[in-house]
């Protein structure tokens, strides 16, 4: 499939909240590099002129009557988009339009192409460290290397995105959820290395507050698709501690304590719950749609 054919069937979704200083430049830059099916700016209840500025720049604007969240804006865009392919990026000017072409071009082979930010693109060392921890944990839980779990710059086929739309949160964890859902569902995912510019203004994500939310959403998605990845290590750890404590009390006190027995029983219960959860996940999951 030619690049021009891909972009002409791609709906660009830009969730925006109070981005009047950057939105026109982003929309105009996107329209300059390719002919898109449409550029959708979803104004998430902005208190400034974001919607009007985006319309003057040539975007099709969808408005929320009040602020619902970044994820809710993306879901609105997905429901109203008309293209078979979707490009999602932030409205703050971080992402380069030329990289958008690279991501969309990857949809010839892949179902999801994520713009994986280089280390120098991270805003602060604290955020870089936080993202590294999330990437490592996500890589373990999915069994696949994930260099950038939280990048909001991505291109995907619209059909599988709609398949998982009920899983997407209304907040800032849509990239996390879509990446994990695509991987665990067996779709083809590629991480394309990019350099992101410094955003203008202040980030709306807070490391401490939102880091915990990202972690909980990560566990939620994995327990939906592969619960044993969570339950099995907990079960093995509880059993190992209980067995080691039992062995130590036998040697030192010539009997087995109630604590060690309780740990071993709990480990078996956790394993059984994990096995049942795995079966439920297998039964409820329909697999990739043709």
Shared-domain flag, residues 154 and 245: no
Distance CA 23, CA 21 (A): 6
Q: Are 195 and 240 in a shared domain?
A: no
**Is a pLDDT exceeding 90 seen at residue 67?**
yes
Mark whether 101 and 243 lie in a shared domain: no
CA angle 239, 241, 242 (to 5 degrees): 65
Q: Give the mean model confidence (pLDDT) for residues 36-40.
A: 96
Q: Which of 222, 244, 270 is the last residue of a domain?
A: 222
Q: Are 223 and 262 in contact (CB under 8 A)?
A: no
Q: Give domain status of residue 241, yes or no.
A: yes
- In a domain? residue 106: yes
Question: Do 53 and 140 reside in the same domain of the chain?
Answer: yes
Check whether residue 11 and residue 134 sit in a common domain: yes
Q: Based on the number of CB atoms within 10 Å of its own CB, is 286 exposed (0-12), middle (13-18) or buried (19 or more)?
A: exposed
> CA 212, CA 218: separation in Å to the nearest integer?
10
pLDDT for 288 equals 45
Pairing of strands 10-16, 85-88: parallel
Q: Is 40 exposed, middle or buried (0-12, 13-18, 19+ CB in 10 A)?
A: buried
Query: Which domain does 216 fall in, by range?
Result: 3-222
Same-domain check for residues 273 and 251: yes
pLDDT of residue 144: 86
Structural domain includes residue 176: yes
Domain count, the chain: 2
Q: Are residues 214 and 274 in the same domain?
A: no
pLDDT at 287 > cutoff 60: no
Q: Is the pLDDT higher at 206 or at 119?
A: 119
Report which secondary-structure segment, H or E, holds 267.
helix 258-284
| 151 assigned to some structural domain | yes
Both 233 and 189 in one domain: the answer is no
**pLDDT tens per residue, range 129-147:** 777 777 887 787 778 889 9
217 and 264 fall within a common domain: no
Give 71's pLDDT tier (boundaries 50, 70, 90): very high
Let me know whether 203 and 125 are in one domain: yes
Residue 289 confidence class, pLDDT cut points 50, 70, 90? very low
Q: Quick one: pLDDT at residue 134?
A: 76
In a domain, 13, yes or no: yes
- 205 pLDDT more than 70: no
Instruction: Please check whether residues 131 and 275 belong to one and the same domain.
Output: no
Q: What band does 2 get if pLDDT is binned at 50, 70 and 90?
A: low
Q: What CATH number is associated with residue 114?
A: 3.90.550.10
Residue 289 falls within a domain, yes or no?
A: no
Do 166 and 251 belong to one domain?
A: no
Q: Which of 174, 203, 222 is the last residue of a domain?
A: 222
pLDDT tens by residue, 163-197: 989 888 888 778 888 998 898 888 999 999 988 77
Assigned domain for 290 exists: no
Identify whether 262 is part of a domain: yes
């Amino acid at each position: 499939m030619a690049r021009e054919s891909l972009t002409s069937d791609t709906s660009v979704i830009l969730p925006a909240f109070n981005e009047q200083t950057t939105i026109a430049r982003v929309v105009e830059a996107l329209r300059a590099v390719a002919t898109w099916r449409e550029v959708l700016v979803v104004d998430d209840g902005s208190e400034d002129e974001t919607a009007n500025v985006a319309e003057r720049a040539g975007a099709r604007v969808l408005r929320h009557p009040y602020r619902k969240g970044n994820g809710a804006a993306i879901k609105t865009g997905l429901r109203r988009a008309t293209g078979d392919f979707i490009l999602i990026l932030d409205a703050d000017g971080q992402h380069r339009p030329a990289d958008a072409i690279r991501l969309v071009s990857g949809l010839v082979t892949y179902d999801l192409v994520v713009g994986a930010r280089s280390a120098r693109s991270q805003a602060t060392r604290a955020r870089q460290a936080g993202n590294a921890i999330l990437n490592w944990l996500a890589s373990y839980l999915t069994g696949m290397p994930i260099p950038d779990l939280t990048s909001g710059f991505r291109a995907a086929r619209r059909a599988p995105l709609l398949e998982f739309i009920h899983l997407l949160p209304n907040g800032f964890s849509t990239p996390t959820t879509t990446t994990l859902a695509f991987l665990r569902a067996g779709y083809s995912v590629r991480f394309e290395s990019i350099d992101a510019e410094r955003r203008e203004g202040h980030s709306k994500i807070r490391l401490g507050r939102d880091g915990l939310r990202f972690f909980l959403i990560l566990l939620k998605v994995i327990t939906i698709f592969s619960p044993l990845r969570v339950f099995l290590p907990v079960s093995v750890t509880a059993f190992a501690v209980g067995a080691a404590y039992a062995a130590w009390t036998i040697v030192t006190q010539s009997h087995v304590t109630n604590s060690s027995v309780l740990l071993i029983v709990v480990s078996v219960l956790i394993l059984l719950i994990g096995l049942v959860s795995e079966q439920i996940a297998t039964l409820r999951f329909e697999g990739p749609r043709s």
